[in-house]
Amino acid sequence: MIHQLHTLLEGSYEEMVSIRRYLHQHPELSFHEVQTAAFIADYYEKLGIEHITNVGGNGVIATITGSKPGKTVALRADFDALPIQDEKEVPYKSTVPGVMHACGHDGHTAALLVLAKNLNELKDELEGRYLFIHQHAEEYAPGGAKPMIEAGCLDGVDVIFGTHLWATVPTGTVQYTYGPLMAAADRFEIIIQGQGGHGAQPHKTRDAIVAGSQLVTNLQQIVSRRLNPIDSAVITIGSFVADNAFNVIADKAKLIGTVRTFKEEIRSFISEEIERVVKGTCIAADCTYDYQYFQGYPPVIPHDAETEFLIGSTKSIKEVLVTEEIDPDMTGEDFSYYLQKVKGTFFFTGARPKNAQAYPHHHPLFDIDEKAMLIAAKILGTAAITYHNKEQSQLKANESLLR
């Protein structure tokens, strides 16, 4: 059956590309993916595949039930875009000003839709139940995974698999970890209140920009001097906004940043340390402050047994050339919430464009090698089908031990 699925997917590759390019041309931001959700639902409707909409917001879930009893396997793809202007000169360039798929979610969606179509053609031979979770709002916390889970998308699920197309990794490469794969992704905001005035009379002011500049530097000492070097963390200031007149000393400055960690105790420690540093810096500058810390997604921690199983299932896929264990990545993903509830794993599928420069995710020139979608679909489909065989083999091994 695995060979049949691979053959069907290969025959559907052009459809996969067509879907991805349509979605790339019509991106929608997190929590606003109404038309994208409708497109997904319409695809399943035309195939006669059972599905429900508005799950936890704009989420869509489709279900295929095999003719034989078995486990329930969930597969997930996200479908929101980013507030970035698409600068690629390609036929499928985004038609929405200031919005683009700069992270590969269009490819995730296309791969999962076509995989569902092909598995549906094999349902008379399938065991168990297959859930296709199309998740909205991955890019912006609180994200779509949590409300979809609260709405029951994981009810009865035994295992979940997911992947992220990774545009900086060669196509044909599959990357995984034992232990954390992606970091907790938090956000903080700091407002420094000084006393503005004339640029020629600094002695009559309390300069919020100078205080903020010192703060940017001081915050870096948390990781370099307060944290055990064995532990990993990132503190990044991504936005620094103040008055913009050349001859005015700013009355107020606003800094927004992110914190990335893997351990909960480090996460809490850094949150407290940021405020300590902000307080000290502002006292020295005779300014006041407001500080808010927002916890985002927890770290993505795949389950070891499911990771080992998935990597083993890639051996039947001819396009997979390399499987490699990697160091954890400091990017974040709300797939973490699924893995907190059920067994499963998450991995990267290499998607570096072959004849073009590879741009990082969230870049205006971001693109993928579309062949990676086929590889991702084959891996997810193979894992979903063979998971039942894994369970049967385990049961037989347990029975042998009892004899």
CATH number for position 198: 3.30.70.360
Q: Which neighbouring-strand residues pair with 258?
A: 187, 236
| Confidence at residue 398, expressed as pLDDT on a 0 to 100 scale | 40
| Confidence at residue 6, expressed as pLDDT on a 0 to 100 scale | 98
Enter the tokens of residue 144: 């779509």
172: left (phi over 0), alpha (psi -120 to 50) or beta: left
Measure the CA–CA gap between 235 and 222, rounded to whole angstroms. 8
| Confidence at residue 391, expressed as pLDDT on a 0 to 100 scale | 54
| Confidence at residue 397, expressed as pLDDT on a 0 to 100 scale | 40
Enter the tokens of residue 179: 């232990």
Walk across the sheet containing 127-135 and list its strands: 50-55, 59-65, 127-135, 68-78, 159-170, 343-352, 173-176, 322-325
Q: Could you tell me if 203 and 94 lie in one domain? A: no
Helix runs in 171-303, H state only: 208-221, 264-285
Which residues are part of a known binding site? 103, 105, 139, 164, 362
pLDDT tens for 58-116 read 999 999 999 999 999 999 999 999 999 999 999 999 999 999 999 999 999 999 999 99
Which residues are part of a known binding site for Mn(2+)? 103, 105, 139, 164, 362
| Radius of gyration of the CA atoms of the chain, in A | 24
| Nearest-10 crossing angle of helices 2-11, 13-25 | 50
pTM of the model: 0.93
Q: Could you tell me if 11 and 130 lie in one domain? A: yes
Measure the CA–CA gap between 133 and 274, rounded to whole angstroms. 37
Q: Could you tell me if 304 and 260 lie in one domain? A: no
Q: Could you tell me if 151 and 39 lie in one domain? A: yes
| Confidence at residue 217, expressed as pLDDT on a 0 to 100 scale | 97
Per the CB < 8 A criterion, the answer to whether 38 and 31 are in contact is no
Per the CB < 8 A criterion, the answer to whether 372 and 16 are in contact is no
Count of CB atoms situated within 10 Å of the CB of 360: 11
Q: Kindly report which listed range (52-56, 67-71, 237-241, 398-402) carries the lowest average pLDDT score.
A: 398-402
How does the average pLDDT of the chain come out, rounded?
Answer: 95
Say how many Å lie between the first and final Cα of the chain, rounded: 32
| Confidence at residue 230, expressed as pLDDT on a 0 to 100 scale | 93
Per the CB < 8 A criterion, the answer to whether 194 and 334 are in contact is no
Q: Could you tell me if 51 and 89 lie in one domain? A: yes
pLDDT tens for 111-160 read 999 999 999 999 999 999 999 999 999 999 999 999 999 999 999 999 99
So which residues are the catalytic ones? Answer: 80, 138
Number of domains in the chain: 2
The parent domain of residue 162 ranges over 2-182+299-399
Please indicate whether residue 388 or residue 278 has the higher confidence score (pLDDT). Answer: 278
Q: Could you tell me if 303 and 356 lie in one domain? A: yes
Q: Could you tell me if 89 and 199 lie in one domain? A: no
Q: Report the length, in residues, of the chain.
A: 403
Quote the percentage of the chain above a pLDDT of 70.
97
| Confidence at residue 349, expressed as pLDDT on a 0 to 100 scale | 98
Q: Could you tell me if 189 and 263 lie in one domain? A: yes
| Confidence at residue 211, expressed as pLDDT on a 0 to 100 scale | 98
pLDDT tens for 9-36 read 999 999 999 999 999 999 999 999 999 9
pLDDT (mean) for 208-214? 98
DSSP 29-50: BTT--HHHHHHHHHHHHHHT-E
Q: Could you tell me if 16 and 105 lie in one domain? A: yes
Closest CA to 322 of 286, 285, 288, 352: 352
Give the domain-ending residue among 262, 297, 332.
297
Give the domain-ending residue among 275, 297, 319.
297
Q: Could you tell me if 125 and 226 lie in one domain? A: no
Strands 127-135 and 68-78: parallel
Q: Could you tell me if 169 and 314 lie in one domain? A: yes
Closest CA to 250 of 206, 285, 282: 206
Closest CA to 114 of 7, 3, 9, 6: 9
Q: Could you tell me if 390 and 268 lie in one domain? A: no
3-class SS at 27?
coil
